[in-house]
Amino acid sequence: MSKLIDLKIVEMHGIGPKLGQKLIKAGIHNLYELIEKGSDEEKRAEVSTITGISEIKLLKWKNMARLFCIEGINNENVELFEAAGIESLEDLQTKSPEAIYEKMRKINASKRLVLNIPSLEELQRMADAASQAENCLEA
């Protein structure tokens, strides 16, 4: 859980300083708070009202933030995961590690998002860990 608290909201891929400041005004300073508030429909609606950020976008960010519960997924490679269609723990659980690996390999070959993509073995471990990460906020 410390990784979720340590990563400031303005540092998360796709958010940045401008949107991050809006989230901070709504009481979201880190990924833990994003997941916590984003998981509750009423809180998400409140944050949307305060920030002007759509509930759909907040839900997407919450799902992406939950990926950080998995060892090996970090702010350096989360863009690659997103580009490969992995935007939630559920995506990681249900998509074939082989298919994810091939997609990451092709995307990274053309866009050079990271120096090294996760190996097939690492992706399998991450997929296995995704089912255990459902309650990562409680850890």
DSSP letters spanning 42-82: HHHHHHHHHH---HHHHHHHHHHHHGGGSTT--TTTHHHHH
pLDDT score, position 5: 79
pLDDT score, position 137: 64
Q: Kindly report, residue by residue over 50-92, the tens digit of the pLDDT.
A: 999 999 999 999 999 999 989 999 888 999 999 999 999 999 9
Res. 138: pLDDT tops 60: no
CATH, range 2-69: 1.10.150
Pair of tokens at residue 90: 């559920």
Q: Where are the domains of the chain?
A: 2-69, 78-138
pLDDT score, position 131: 81
- 115 versus 135: the higher-pLDDT residue is 115
Q: Kindly report, residue by residue over 97-129, the tens digit of the pLDDT.
A: 999 999 999 999 999 999 999 999 999 999 999
CA distances from 122 to 27, 85, 88, 101 (A): 34, 17, 17, 10
Res. 37: pLDDT tops 90: yes
Consecutive H or E run containing 94: helix 89-94
